Chains A and B, each alone.
Chain A
Amino acid sequence: MKSGRRKRVIKEIKVDISKCTGCRSCEMACSAFHAMPKYSSINPARARIRVYIDEIRDHFVPIRAGSYTQAECTGRNRYVIGGEEYSVCAFCPASCPSRDYFKDPDSGLPLKCDMCEDIHPLEKPMCVEACKFDALTYSEREEEYYHERDQKTADAGELKIAFEELVKQHGLKKVMESFSQLSKR
């Protein structure tokens, strides 16, 4: 497909941490929705949303599971919001090696929010449905974006780098053999 400006629908969950009461209904509902078969078990540890709660410091932050990352952060940030100091982990959606957030408790596989996209789409994701305090609200908006050509052709320079890397790893002989086998197909 050709490059050009296009439109797509962005699904958004707005998180208002001042409205969160820490009831964790979102965790319950998410784990029920993603159970197999649906709703057959409850387990907040399997939820793709978690409420970071620190009652002593009054931190209540719902976080939606994002992507898996192999490596933990180099260094950390600390955020000060309204005089309260939050660790970056309180906001970070990653399933990462430094903590047990967003990993299936049995298999250890990463969990990621899918916005409850289903064969029969929900009006809004289950966590939002379960939040009675509007700490989570759902909206959709259209966004323009630039679409690059579907299959980008690598230039000669990039190919050279890739081959050099393969030769370094496996030796020139093996790479030559594999390449000649491939070319015979």
Chain B
Amino acid sequence: MRYGETGARLEIDLSRGNIEKIDTDPRDTELYLGGQGTAAKILWDRVPPEIDPFSPDNLLIFTAGLLHATPVPGANRVVVNTFTPQTNFMSHSLMGGFFGPEMKHAGYDQIIIRGKAKDLVYLYINNGKVEIRDATHLAGRGATETGDLLKKELHDDKVQVAAIGLAGENRVWMASIEHGHSSAARGVGVIMGDKRLKAIAVRGTRDINIAHPVELFEKCMAMHKKIGGSDGCGDWMAYDEDDSFHHNHFAWGNARTRRKNFWSEELQNRWAKLKYDNMSRQTSCYNCPKNCRNVIKYKDGKRFGYKCYGKDTYHMAAFKELDFSYDILGVAQEYGLDSYSTPQALAFAVELYEAGILTDKDMPGFPKDSGERIWYLLEKTVRREGIGDYLADGVSRAAERIGNGAEAYDHNTTKKFEQLPIKLGKVNPAYFLMIATGEKMSITQIEGSFPQDPMRTLEERQEFVNKWTSPPDDRFKTYFLEWNKRDEMSDQAFCDIVDWNEAMHYIDDSTGLCGFVSSFRGQFGGEVAYNIHNIPEMIELSTGIPMDKQKLWRVFERIRTLVRAINARRGLRRKDERPPEDHWAVRNEEMEQKLLSKYYMFKGFNREGIPTEERLEELGLDFVAKDLIERGILREEDNFTAQELAEAPVNNILRG
């Protein structure tokens, strides 16, 4: 009997209509846990680098986290992975809600989709009964509307649905997969649409067995209490009406304009009233004592949900106010569009129009009002009509296709992916490393454990450190105590901090824990619920797999290194690891490149950012090393010299 997981996966071939249930190898669980870790192993094994994202041989994988459907609170984020056309790399996408736990109760840790259906279909999974069904009657239907229609069609209000909207159907690269008021962004909706898969409806009524029941349950009930009562967990922006942080510090339009004094008390009161006058309630994901989603019903629009910065992106792209976002979010959610990247692509087109690169010939009837313009472009983009066909490929590719100087306006992407619209003064080395080397494509998916800013007085720092239980070891406390200026720390400290930040995300995305109770949240206040010290216990008690922090850290390194190898095999190199050139006004290329080399050495990568043979073997990834060498990707001449290595920061976090 398997504990904590089902030990089975579902293989769906949409081209042939084939459905199979496959038993999985428990040894892989020890090595990769679940979630992104398991998906990475599958993608490495089964999708060679020559496979185009739009090939039927590309896989779309839904993977439940290892701790989903156990009593562990806050474990509910299902991972969706594939190769996405925007970057040609492994996409990284997550959504909260109920889908992952339901998959496991249906009896599957993973759902792997390959091939392409001839016409629109949906997948119905009801425990052992799995069917590929016609979905042509759902064509053009909204993403959450589809969930509602399927619940009626299947006569089951407990069925959990993940669906695409019109954007996914039209292969818009910014298309998301929507599940109730949760959504999976960053390049997965386009592939679901390409496979002509409108939705997956899953229902499960099977047990998930627990290895150490009484101990685990007691710990989880205590954790419930702790998370529920803690200000250090959850999305504080669900409650805090002061959002000067995003509005005064992030850039508006096409990641261009800072409005440092935008926020005011008058505005805050007016927006808070707008929110509470139209808020249905705040809702939670499965088994989580936080209610981070604001659910809004505005005027005659569709009811929608948002978290955190998700409410700001459209009106900041359009230079409007919150009511503009409330109008558009209900529509954009039904279209199934990522609210992070989409507004940037639309604002990019506005800039091109103002610069005369796009004209009325390209955009007939283009309105004058900045808000109406965003609406105009949204409707074109989701249908791939006219200029929308270009914008539907995201900023980088659109700039390339439009040409005529448009490339210069693609200024906020890294690895061809839209980044958060942040424009700052002096380069911050830790953030340089994170934005440059992150492979989850957004800074929010790598930052998070170590505070963003130093505290002013030693007393404040000491008080913070005294309560701080999450650091892997005491060196992080020393770093924080001695930290005065944001950009001034030793290279060793920067490397350690970036590595710890990254580690927690890789662990969360394999166990299924939410960043708001773990990896993302500790940077704000330090009092986060989960950390490297208590997650091993949750894993061991749930699954029976012996786990400690050293072993879990090793799992992180294995998964992270494998993801790097997957992308390196598809062409990722050092030259791609550049934050947007204007992310900071004052740059220091020499310092940045030196630091990048040091971090590569720290991570066990070579000069090109490719994992070395030694590191791969150390992590049990010999088969990866062999493949990279055979393909000529891992080359001796890219190795750092012995002297460079001797001077590099030492990676000895939890390495004994």
Contact = CB atoms under 8 A, between A and B. Distances in A.
Interface of A: 18, 21-25, 28-29, 32, 35, 37-46, 50, 52-58, 60, 100, 105, 129-130, 132-133
B216 interface: yes
B285 interface: yes
B231 to A, nearest CB: 14
A32 B208 CA distance: 10
21 contacts: A18-B281, A21-B281, A21-B282, A21-B283, A22-B283, A23-B284, A23-B289, A28-B71, A37-B213, A42-B70, A42-B207, A43-B207, A45-B158, A46-B205, A50-B158, A56-B148, A56-B303, A58-B281, A60-B281, A105-B206, A133-B289
B523 interface: no
A55 B157 contact: no
A43 B224 contact: no
Given A58-B295, A132-B228, A43 B281 contact: no
A43 B157 contact: no
Contact of A40 (B213, B227, B305): B213
Nearest to B156: A100
Contact of A42 (B69, B145, B158): B69
B162 to A, nearest CB: 14
Given A23-B284, A37-B213, A43 B208 contact: yes
Interface in B268-307: 280-289, 291, 295, 297, 302-303, 305
A24 B288 CA distance: 8
Contact of A58 (B214, B217, B280): B280
A37 B280 CA distance: 40
B209 A41 contact: yes
A44 B157 CA distance: 14
B217 to A, nearest CB: 4
B282 A23 contact: no
A132 B224 contact: yes
Q: Is the interface of A mostly helix, strand, loop or mixed?
A: loop
A38 B210 CA distance: 10
Contacts of B284: 21-23
B105 A38 contact: no
Given A21-B283, A23-B284, A58-B295, A43 B210 contact: no
B214 A29 contact: no
A56 to B, nearest CB: 5
Contacts of B217: 32, 39
Residue of B144, B225, B291 contacting most chain A CB atoms (<10 Å): B291
Interface residues of B, number: 48
A43 B228 contact: no
B144 A23 contact: no
B180 interface: yes
A93 to B, nearest CB: 16
B348 interface: no
Contact of B180 (A37, A50, A55, A129): A55
A40 B217 CA distance: 9
Contact of A25 (B144, B280, B289, B297): B289
A163 to B, nearest CB: 45
Contacts of B297: 58
A21 B282 CA distance: 6
Contacts of A100: 156
B335 interface: no
Interface string B66-101: 000111010000000000000000000000001000
Contacts of B224: 25, 130, 132
Contacts of A57: 303
Contact of B208 (A18, A41, A56, A133): A41
A23 B280 contact: no
Interface string B547-558: 000000000000
A129 B477 CA distance: 36
Contact of A28 (B209, B225, B287): B287
A84 B285 CA distance: 23
Residue of B147, B205, B229, B302 contacting most chain A CB atoms (<10 Å): B205
Given A24-B287, A55-B180, A58-B281, A45 B157 contact: no
B54 to A, nearest CB: 32
Contact of A29 (B71, B206, B280): B71
